[in-house]
Amino acid sequence: MVVAKADPVAGSDRIGHRFADPKLLAQALTHRSAGTPHNERLEFLGDGIVNLLIAEVLFQRWPRADEGALTRARAELVREASLATIARELDLGTRLTMGPGEMKSGGHRRDSILADALEAVVAAIYLDAGLEACRACVLPWFESALAALPVGKPEKDPKTRLQEWLQGKQKPLPSYELVGESGEEHARHFQIRCRTADPPLAAEGEGNSRRVAEQAAAAALISQLPRR
């Protein structure tokens, strides 16, 4: 099988770490479609490290934030779309080693694959140089997203706000229905309808993932809720 291969050293300056063992970076940027060794084990380790680093920095920067606010902020920073955005800024997609089928289908642009690759790179840095070096390299990637969060009190997402409004009034929870789905495999587009039974309302939302579309639908329905 012919695979599209990445240069394990090229672009490491953009990552911000010069690898003593370039094979770690090469493995971090190898998708399972290209054979073994690939990056899935590194992704597992990197997921835990990213969560630790983000939890640590939020704990330090927001001394008055409660557990709920810290949890919501961490979830926003480490969600798939956020990690994929950073991966694109580091130009990881163009350097992924993938099987021909995955490359042809646009896998190097897919959020899930980019987010996994970013976590694998984090693990590779950790294994190459230790936690302190990993912290120093990785946290700057998140700085702009950290700065954009409302300090201490990140707003709850629309689905959570809608659920809490209904629960507070002892009403049934909303339902979410897939109305439409279109686009190429690497660029799917979803349309979701959100419904509430009491009050009887419905609203639709769109996005590049079911999660994003559901949030948009919930936000649209919230705008219809009675003010009292």
Active-site entry in 102, 119, 128, 214: 119
Told to judge if 111 belongs to the known catalytic residues of this protein, a careful annotator would answer no
Which residues make up each annotated binding site for Mg(2+)? 43, 116, 119
Residue range(s) in the chain whose domain bears CATH number 3.30.160.20? 158-222
Q: Which CATH superfamily is domain 12-148 in?
A: Ribonuclease III domain (1.10.1520.10)
Domain 158-222 in CATH 3.40.50.2300? The answer is: no
Told to judge if 128 belongs to the known catalytic residues of this protein, a careful annotator would answer no
Residues 50 and 30: their CA atoms lie apart, in Å, by 19
pTM: 0.67
**pLDDT tens-digit series, residues 171-184:** 999 999 999 988 77
Which CA distances in Å does 116 have to 45, 93, 154, 175, 176?
Answer: 11, 11, 25, 30, 27
Residue range(s) in the chain whose domain bears CATH number 1.10.1520.10? 12-148
Active-site entry in 47, 111, 128, 214: 47
**Of 157, 194, 164, 135, whose CA–CA distance to 75 is shortest?**
157
**pLDDT tens-digit series, residues 110-142:** 888 999 999 999 999 999 999 999 999 999 999
* pLDDT of 1: 43
The series of mean pLDDT values per 10 residues for the chain, 228 residues long, is 49 81 95 90 97 96 87 91 92 90 80 94 97 95 87 74 91 94 78 94 89 90 83
* pLDDT of 204: 94
